[in-house]
Structure formats: structure tokens, C-alpha cells
């Protein structure tokens, strides 16, 4: 007979956190949200970490380069979706890595024979207003000067003229030689009150550009997650089919974190893929696995796959119909608690901590906070990010409100058959996700700020200054339906909800 688990599957809605002793040092400003994303020896402490415990789902409607840039700046990481060609996924990763290197490779270059119209066209195409004028119009060749949008007037100058005579020639530029530190380059910009500093090699070939605005940007995002070369962090998803070829292209493009993305990751395919990837890339890559919902699956991926982190969640996603279609899954709170217990047990036995991510079904700030309190090291969200300005879809207006499209990877629209292994056939036979709309919620930075302020505040209520302390100190109670009713507004009239008098 089947094993019947003698416990109901629970969701985050069914729990509340009790406040712990809040000491005077427990103020939001003292809270650190740094959280591990790579397995580590407990005796040695955290290795690679996020500065904020938020990651975005590997979905077509969620994680493109624009969102990845916005999220890395807030301290989290996006997983660029793998339901696209290897080339286009690697291109997206590259776009994030090139976004702000401190030292930026110039992507807008023209020869001196180009016209002002050519410059205008290039500006429109790249969106960049600084154009390097080089000997043959390529990068890495001799720099002749810099043309900016201030050097000519689009509606006044004759655009058929060449850029000669308009750009600032190299003799008048402040430049630095290759090898200069970012700090020294920034100091030069500051000293000479310049917007842009070209970096050239000994022969005068253009190697990179450093921008004043990037320095200011960096200061507006103190939690920005960057690699050792000051490039933004980015993640990408893999499937268990073309993973070797895909991972090679992604690593080449500069990806920081990879994650095997299956709707059910408790499989020999996933352990095998993880092993092969580790064999090829060694400890140079951070590799996650999932999704799973039970302690035994956690142990399997942690030992057989030696993954760096494990993603938890089946059937809880806002667009997900897996539970309805196949009768498989688990209440997200039960899954997170079960896996968190096993992770801690595993760490005690082996001295190795394998971080855990709660993925899907987090529809409010309180649910994210509950997932983290119950033991998640970070949370993955799809809908939350699909609603923001930076998600890859266009806004549409419906009855006076703005919406963004949001569809599941297992929907007919995404057709990510590699995630859903439904048969030997390489296509989706039945849908496991829907194609829907979500309300537009504005810029990601504002939304994440509010969520993180709430998280910090709750952590102080619990008496914790780190997520590890939150895991250890959280006291959580189950709630009755009436407690939920009591928690909303009650016995008062909200004027905006009152029916007008129609007499
Ligand atoms: P959300 O944050 O509740 O919108 O859930 C996002 C998560 O749902 C993703 O990270 C995936 O784990 C999962 N997911 C994405 N697409 C589908 C689908 O089509 N069916 C089931 N689950 C999905």
C-alpha cells in the first residue's frame, strides 16, 4: 500500500510569526540580508552570496536582461530562461555582463568618414550617446576622438556632413592607459570634470570607456551584486537535455550561477547532469538543482548531484496547473519546512550547508517573509517580477488599468517541453501552466524596496539581524480561519468599499 503521510499539506497563509525579544540593536539599519547561494563548509563560512534574498524565475515573461540588470542592482539575481536557443540565452547573459563593467567595451564606434546621420542612426540603435571615432570604425583600433550628443544638433546641423570637425579629437581628450584601476579612472573623471574617460593601450587603440554616470549609479545601489570585475551578477537556467552545450556557451558569456530547471528535479537525469557539469567545470561554477518538495529529494540532489543549492516548489506557482493536471505537488509551506529540517540535519552530519530556495506561489510580502522564516535562504518569484516595468513584456491597458502578460513555462505559449518531460516526444502534450495577465506594478526598484523594508522590520520583531538568526529564532504558529479574519480589517467601514446609496 502507498505510504500515507499523516499530516495535511500546508501553505504560508496558515501561519503567523510570533514576535521575539527585540533588543535595542534590532533596528532595520543593522539588518544584513546577505544569504548564501553556494554550498559551503560550516566551519569556513559563506562563499558566494546574494545581498538580498530575491531571485527571479527562469521564465520567458519574467527574466530578460533588463530585469536581470535591475534585480542585480538590488542585490538579487535573475535566472535567464532556457526555453530559447542557446545563442539567444547566451546573448542575454552577455548583455547583462557588459551592462556596467566599470570598464565598458565601446559598442558605438564610427570611422571619421561617417556622417552625422550615421551617428544619429547608431545612437538610436544602441541608445548610447557617446560614440568613439576610431580609425576604421571598429572597437580595439586607434582612437581618433569622441562624439557626443552635445557635439551636434539633430534639427539644426546638416546631417549629411561627416563627423570630422564635430567630434572632440584625441589631443583634447583626457584618457588613461590600459591597466589603470577603476578608482584611479574615476578620480581622473572627477578631477577633470568629464563624463567619459577612454582607456587606450600603448599604441593608442581603444580598449574601454569609463563613465561618470556609472559611478553615481553605483552609489544609488549600495547592495548591487557584482563579480570581481565589477560586472553585475546574472544566473541562467539549464535543462537536462542540451545542458553541456548550453552551459559551455553560458559560461563563455560570463554567467555567474546556473540552475537545472525541471518541474520535478528528483530524477537520475538531474543528478547525472549535475555530475557531468561538475566534471567539466569543476568548482568554477555555482550550480543549483530542482524542483523538489521533500527531504529525501533534498538529500539525493545534495549527495548524488552535489548541487550548490536546491530549489523547492511543485504546483504552487501562480500560473501553475500541475496539481490539477497530474495530482502531484505539495503545499509550499510543508515542502519548505520539510526540506529546511533536512538541510540542517545534513549540515550537522556532514559539515556542509546546502542553501535552499523557495520557488513559486509567493503572492505577498508576508508569504516571502514566512518562507524565509521557515528556513528558505532565498526566494524565487515569477509573478512578482512579471508585474514590473523591467519584465520583458509590453504593458496593455484594459478598462483603465495597466496589465502585463504572464504565462507559465508549461503553457502552450512557452512550450518549454524540456522542463516538463511528459513523454519521449520532444514537445508538450498537455499544458501545465496558463497564459494570463497581471497588474502592472511600476519599477522593480520601488517594489523590492518596500518588500525589503517589511522583511527587515519583521526580522527586528523576531529579534534577528541576519537570515540565519531568523531561521533559528522564528517561532511560528498555525492559525485558524477566524484568526485570518481577525487579522484583516474588521468592525470598521472602509469608505471606498461602501455601496453608494441608490435611492
Ligand atoms: P509564481 O512566483 O507564483 O508566479 O511562480 C513562479 C514559479 O512557477 C516558477 O519559478 C516555476 O517554478 C513555476 N512555473 C513556471 N511556469 C510554470 C508552469 O507553466 N506550470 C507550473 N509551474 C510553473
Residue 242 makes CB contacts below 8 A (sequence gap 6+) with 86
How many angstroms does the Cα of residue 316 sit away from the middle of ligand 1? 7
Which atom of ligand 1 lies nearest, measured to the CA of 322? 21
Pocket flag, ligand 1, residue 444 (CB < 6 Å): no
Long-range contacts, stretch 496-499, CB < 8 angstroms, 24+ apart: none
What's residue 499's pLDDT?
67
Q: Please give the grid coordinates belonging to residue 410.
A: 508549461
What's residue 217's pLDDT?
72
The DSSP bridge partners found for residue 145 are 133, 169
What's residue 501's pLDDT?
62
Which atom of ligand 1 lies nearest, measured to the CA of 414? 19
Rounded CA-CA distance 210/230 in Å is 12
Pocket flag, ligand 1, residue 359 (CB < 6 Å): yes
First CA to last CA across the chain, in angstroms?
A: 65
What sign has the CA pseudo-torsion 407, 409, 413, 414? positive
Q: Please give the grid coordinates belonging to residue 187.
A: 578620480
What's residue 502's pLDDT?
58
Residue bearing the CA closest to ligand 1, atom 8:
317
How long, in residues, is the chain? 503
The catalytic residues are: 320, 419
Q: Are 371 and 12 spatial neighbours (Cβ–Cβ below 8 Å)?
A: yes
pTM score of the predicted model: 0.83
Instruction: State the burial class of residue 347 (Cβ atoms within 10 Å of its Cβ: 0-12, 13-18, 19+).
Output: middle
Neighbouring C-beta atoms of residue 155, cutoff 10 Å: 5
How many angstroms does the Cα of residue 441 sit away from the middle of ligand 1? 19
Question: Which residue matches cell numbers 523591467?
Answer: 390
How many angstroms does the Cα of residue 92 sit away from the middle of ligand 1? 21
Given the DSSP bridges, would you call strands 257-260 and 286-292 parallel, antiparallel or unpaired?
parallel
> pLDDT digit of tens for each residue in the chain (503 aa)?
999 988 899 999 999 999 999 999 999 999 999 999 999 999 999 999 999 999 999 999 999 999 999 999 999 999 999 999 999 999 999 999 987 657 888 889 999 999 999 999 999 988 888 999 999 998 889 999 999 989 999 899 999 999 999 999 999 999 999 988 888 999 999 999 999 999 999 999 999 999 998 777 777 889 999 998 888 999 999 999 999 999 999 999 999 999 999 999 999 999 999 999 999 999 889 999 999 999 999 999 999 999 999 999 999 999 888 888 888 999 999 999 999 999 999 999 999 999 999 999 998 999 999 999 999 999 999 999 999 999 999 999 999 999 999 999 998 888 888 888 877 777 888 888 889 999 999 999 999 999 999 999 999 999 999 999 999 999 999 998 888 888 877 678 777 766 666 55
Task: Give, for 473, the enclosing helix (H) or strand (E).
Answer: helix 467-473
Angle in degrees, CA 488, 330, 431, rounded to 5: 100
What's residue 179's pLDDT?
87
Q: Are 322 and 361 spatial neighbours (Cβ–Cβ below 8 Å)?
A: no
Q: Please give the grid coordinates belonging to residue 232.
A: 553585475
Pocket flag, ligand 1, residue 433 (CB < 6 Å): yes
What's residue 291's pLDDT?
97
- Ligand 1: which of 54, 56, 59 to mutate, most ligand atoms within 8 Å of CB? 59
Q: Are 77 and 57 spatial neighbours (Cβ–Cβ below 8 Å)?
A: no
Residue bearing the CA closest to ligand 1, atom 13:
317
What's residue 503's pLDDT?
54
Rg (alpha carbons) of the chain, rounded to whole number = 26
Rounded CA-CA distance 406/386 in Å is 6
Rounded CA-CA distance 403/441 in Å is 8
What's residue 101's pLDDT?
57
How many angstroms does the Cα of residue 141 sit away from the middle of ligand 1? 47
Rounded CA-CA distance 500/260 in Å is 54
Q: Are 474 and 374 spatial neighbours (Cβ–Cβ below 8 Å)?
A: yes
Pocket flag, ligand 1, residue 265 (CB < 6 Å): no
Q: Are 318 and 383 spatial neighbours (Cβ–Cβ below 8 Å)?
A: yes
Question: Which residue matches cell numbers 578620480?
Answer: 187
Q: Please give the grid coordinates belonging to residue 334.
A: 510543508
Rounded CA-CA distance 410/90 in Å is 22
Which segments of 351-466 does DSSP mark as H helices, in order? 365-373, 383-386, 417-420, 444-462
Which atom of ligand 1 lies nearest, measured to the CA of 411? 19
Amino acid at each position: 500500500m502507498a505510504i500515507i503521510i499523516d499530516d495535511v499539506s500546508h501553505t504560508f497563509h496558515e501561519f503567523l510569526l510570533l514576535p521575539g525579544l527585540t533588543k535595542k540593536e534590532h533596528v532595520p539599519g543593522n539588518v544584513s540580508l546577505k544569504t548564501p547561494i553556494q554550498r559551503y563548509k560550516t566551519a569556513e563560512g559563506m562563499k558566494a552570496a546574494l545581498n538580498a534574498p530575491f531571485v527571479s524565475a527562469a521564465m520567458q515573461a519574467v527574466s530578460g536582461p533588463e530585469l536581470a540588470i535591475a534585480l542585480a542592482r538590488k542585490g538579487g539575481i535573475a535566472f535567464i530562461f532556457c526555453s530559447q536557443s542557446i545563442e539567444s540565452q547566451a546573448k542575454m547573459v552577455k548583455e547583462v555582463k557588459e551592462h556596467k563593467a566599470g570598464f565598458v567595451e565601446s559598442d558605438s564606434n564610427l570611422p571619421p568618414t561617417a556622417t552625422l546621420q550615421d551617428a544619429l542612426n547608431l545612437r538610436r540603435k544602441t541608445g548610447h550617446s557617446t560614440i568613439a571615432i576610431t580609425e576604421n570604425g571598429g572597437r580595439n583600433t586607434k582612437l581618433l576622438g569622441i562624439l557626443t550628443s552635445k557635439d551636434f544638433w539633430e534639427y539644426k546641423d546638416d546631417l549629411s556632413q561627416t563627423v570630422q570637425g564635430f567630434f572632440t579629437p584625441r589631443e583634447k581628450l583626457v584618457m588613461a592607459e590600459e591597466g589603470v584601476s577603476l578608482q584611479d579612472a574615476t578620480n581622473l573623471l572627477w578631477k577633470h570634470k568629464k563624463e567619459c574617460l577612454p582607456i587606450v593601450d600603448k599604441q593608442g587603440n581603444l580598449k574601454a570607456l569609463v563613465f561618470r554616470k556609472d559611478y553615481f549609479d553605483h552609489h544609488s545601489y549600495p547592495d548591487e551584486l557584482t563579480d570581481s570585475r565589477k560586472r553585475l551578477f546574472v544566473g541562467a537556467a539549464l535543462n537536462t537535455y542540451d545542458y553541456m552545450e548550453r552551459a559551455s556557451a553560458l559560461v563563455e558569456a560570463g554567467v555567474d550561477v546556473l540552475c537545472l530547471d525541471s518541474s520535478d528535479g528528483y530524477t537520475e537525469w538531474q543528478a547525472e547532469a549535475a555530475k557531468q557539469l561538475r566534471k567539466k567545470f569543476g568548482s568554477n561554477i555555482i550550480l543549483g538543482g530542482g524542483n523538489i518538495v521533500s527531504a529525501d529529494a533534498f538529500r539525493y540532489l545534495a549527495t548524488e548531484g552535489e548541487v550548490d543549492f536546491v530549489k523547492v516548489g511543485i504546483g504552487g506557482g501562480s500560473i501553475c496547473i500541475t496539481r490539477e493536471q497530474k495530482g502531484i505537488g505539495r503545499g509550499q509551506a510543508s515542502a519548505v519546512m520539510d526540506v529546511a529540517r533536512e538541510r540542517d540535519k545534513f549540515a550537522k552530519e556532514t559539515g556542509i550547508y546546502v542553501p535552499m530556495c523557495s520557488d513559486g506561489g509567493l503572492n505577498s510580502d508576508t508569504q516571502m517573509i514566512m518562507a524565509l522564516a521557515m528556513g528558505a535562504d532565498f526566494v524565487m518569484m515569477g509573478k512578482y517580477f512579471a508585474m514590473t516595468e523591467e519584465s520583458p513584456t509590453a504593458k496593455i491597458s484594459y478598462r483603465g488599468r495597466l496589465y502585463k502578460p504572464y504565462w507559465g513555462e508549461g503553457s502552450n505559449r512557452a512550450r518549454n517541453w524540456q522542463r516538463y518531460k511528459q513523454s519521449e516526444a520532444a514537445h508538450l502534450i498537455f499544458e501545465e501552466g496558463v497564459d494570463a495577465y497581471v497588474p502592472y506594478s511600476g519599477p522593480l526598484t520601488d517594489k523590492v524596496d518596500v518588500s525589503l523594508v517589511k522583511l527587515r522590520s519583521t526580522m527586528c520583531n523576531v529579534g534577528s539581524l541576519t537570515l540565519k538568526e531568523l531561521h533559528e529564532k522564528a517561532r511560528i504558529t498555525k492559525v485558524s480561519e477566524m484568526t485570518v479574519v481577525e487579522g484583516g480589517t474588521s468592525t470598521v467601514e472602509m469608505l471606498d468599499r461602501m455601496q453608494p446609496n441608490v435611492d
